[in-house]
Structure 1
Amino acid sequence: MTWLVLVAAIVIEVGATLGLRASDGFRKKAWIAPVVLGYLTSFYLLWLTLSLGVPVGVAYGIWTACGVALVAVVARYLFGDPLTRKMVIGIAFIVAGVLTIELASAVH
């Protein structure tokens, strides 16, 4: 259940971030409530993940790495944002770093 809560936090945060992009700097007022509620819900679920015992470095690392990767890929298709080979390599380095942290924390 702990990991499902973290996955939900990630998915909701990605949705809120994409909503922020879609809001066009909040010029499209209809996006304000979904963005704010999305971020609040995501932070609550991240807090819940931490309270269920996941170390903060692991939870936050996974949350941010997955968020960066998902936002970059989905924004490419929704908004036509750039996703260059160098960006993909950078995302791979982020994911590798988070996996390293996860594996190192599992040893203890």
Structure 2
Amino acid sequence: MELLIALAIGLLFTIGVYLVLSKSLLRILLGTTLLTHGVHLLLLTMAGLKTGAAPLLGEEAEAYVDPLPQALILTSIVISFGVTAFFIVLAYRAYRSTGTDDVEGIKEERQ
């Protein structure tokens, strides 16, 4: 199971990096979104895919799952949502002021 998730993480990172290196702002936005999803899966896999009881049961619990990776992933989801919203607004403003979403076109417009 962990091998399958590791392959999915590699695929997400590969596609994300490919999209980030393109010239379209929309593709860059989608690439950063895929990279953040890859990071979420990476955090989950690094913690170990464990089956067991709920994260918090009390002092006398025999088996439990560590809640720290879940908290880190939740924090990462919130941060990536904020960054994605900022990128959307930034790309929209760049498109409205230059008329294109091509990064090279935006560079030429500034010079």
Q: Scaled by the length of structure 1, what TM-score is found?
A: 0.43
Larger radius of gyration: 2
The structure with higher relative contact order (CA 8 Å, sep 6+) is 1
